[in-house]
């Protein structure tokens, strides 16, 4: 298995990248923060290496895929995890924030897929995109509108790729709450949030029942991604949902 994991310097992408390598895959770990990727590659073992890439920069995506494909000898799987989720009510979101969110969460996925497509076509490989329960399984969460709109766009993007390229298996992986692992493997998704606003909105999310109060384990996440990519293009898994089971009543 020759895999590329984008967004592997932090949180879920890092867990998936190191986890796949520890299960025997050869993995290119990609993101912007190279020092963190180098640490992840060390943790992952001999079969992983770090490649710096900014998914909002087309030249960077092409160069990173070309370098990885050469080093891996081809690509069997692309896993796309980058996303940003600015916490703000829609009325307070400026154009620059909208653009940055679309560039990272949607455009980056399109550019990485275009660059990887010839390799995935040759290997009859798989492409997996991390989406969110907040974009498809609940009404939009107040304060996360920009994130949710881009995840909904990502979901359609995955469908559109599938229609044009049936020889590659495209999977939308809908993920529920997951804190990731420890250290750099912990999610950094909320690091930039205004904590006062987060507390205010968090009360609404809990009251509406959007937050299950339970989390997906890293092992389950890696196991799911490993299963999807090992299926290859002969298995169709258009959507996989990985949500925590509601806590059992006491
Ligand atoms: N955590 C959850 O509970 C949860 C729930 C549902 C879905 N998800 C999805 O899971 C994915 C990962 O989330 P997370 O919680 O692990 O977030 P995270 O810790 O913030 O990780 C985001 C990753 O994306 C990378 N990234 C951001 N901008 C980039 C860019 N321009 N170019 C390249 N890489 C970029 C970051 O690396 P650099 O900054 O080093 O570039 C980092 O590795 C996201 O798609 C998120 O929507 C998470």
Whole-angstrom Cα distance, residue 146 to residue 139? 13
**pLDDT score of 248:** 56
**pLDDT score of 204:** 95
Q: How many residues would you count in the chain?
A: 250
3-state secondary structure 172-236: EEEECCCCECCHHHECCCCCCCCHHHHHHHHHHHHHCCCCCCCCCCHHHHHHHHHHHHHHHHHCC
CATH class as words, domain 2-242: alpha beta
The response to whether residue 32 sits with its C-beta less than 6 Å from ligand 1 reads yes
Strand partners, 247: none
Of 5, 6, 12, which is best to mutate to test ligand 1, by the most ligand atoms within 8 angstroms of its C-beta?
Answer: 12
* Closest C-alpha to 28, from 54, 62, 65, 58: 65
**pLDDT score of 17:** 98
Span 230-239, pLDDT tens digits: 987 778 899 9
DSSP labels, 33-90 = -HHHHHHHHHHH-TTEEEEE--TT-HHHHHHHHHHHHHHHTS-SEEEE---------G
Of ligand 1's listed atoms, the one at least distance from the Cα of 8 is 43
**pLDDT score of 247:** 58
> Token match 């890439």: residue?
53
Say how many Å lie between the CA of residue 11 and the centre of ligand 1. Answer: 7
State the DSSP code for 249. P
Cβ-contact 108, 82 below 8 angstroms: yes
- Farthest CA pair distance, the chain: 54
Q: Is the pTM of this model over 0.75?
A: yes
Of ligand 1's listed atoms, the one at least distance from the Cα of 36 is 40
* Ligand 1 atom 27: residue of nearest CA: 82
Cβ-contact 176, 210 below 8 angstroms: no
Residues of the chain with pLDDT under 70: 246-250
Whole-angstrom Cα distance, residue 38 to residue 49? 7
**pLDDT score of 246:** 66
* Ligand 1 atom 26: residue of nearest CA: 82
* Closest C-alpha to 11, from 35, 47, 36: 36
Say how many Å lie between the CA of residue 82 and the centre of ligand 1. Answer: 4
**pLDDT score of 226:** 97
Of ligand 1's listed atoms, the one at least distance from the Cα of 129 is 45
Q: CA 111 → CA 61, 116, 136, distances in Å?
A: 7, 9, 23
**pLDDT score of 212:** 73
* Ligand 1 atom 36: residue of nearest CA: 7
Q: CA 155 → CA 35, 116, 159, 173, 238, distances in Å?
A: 31, 18, 7, 9, 10
């Amino acid at each position: 298995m020759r895999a590329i994991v984008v967004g592997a310097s932090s949180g879920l992408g890092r867990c998936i990248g190191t986890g796949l390598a520890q299960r025997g895959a050869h993995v290119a770990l990609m993101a912007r923060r190279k020092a963190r990727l180098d640490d992840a590659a060390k943790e992952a073992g001999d079969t992983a290496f770090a490649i710096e890439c900014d998914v909002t920069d087309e030249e960077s995506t092409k160069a990173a895929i070309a370098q990885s494909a050469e080093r891996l000898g081809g690509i069997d799987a692309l896993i796309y995890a980058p996303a940003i989720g600015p916490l703000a009510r829609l009325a307070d979101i400026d154009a620059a924030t909208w653009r940055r969110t679309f560039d990272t969460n949607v455009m980056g996925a399109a550019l990485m897929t275009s660059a990887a497509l010839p390799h995935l076509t040759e290997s009859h490989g798989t492409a997996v995109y991390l989406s969110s329960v907040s974009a498809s399984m609940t009404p939009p969460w107040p304060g996360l509108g920009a994130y949710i709109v881009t995840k909904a766009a990502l979901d359609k993007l995955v469908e559109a790729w599938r229609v044009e390229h049936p020889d590659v298996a495209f999977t939308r992986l809908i993920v529920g709450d997951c804190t990731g692992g420890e250290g750099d493997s912990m999610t950094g998704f909320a690091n930039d949030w205004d904590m006062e606003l987060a507390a205010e909105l968090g009360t609404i999310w809990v009251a509406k029942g959007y937050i299950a109060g339970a989390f997906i384990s890293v092992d389950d996440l890696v196991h799911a991604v490993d299963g999807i990519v090992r299926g290859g293009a002969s298995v169709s898994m258009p959507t996989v949902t990985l949500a925590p089971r509601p806590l059992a009543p006491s």
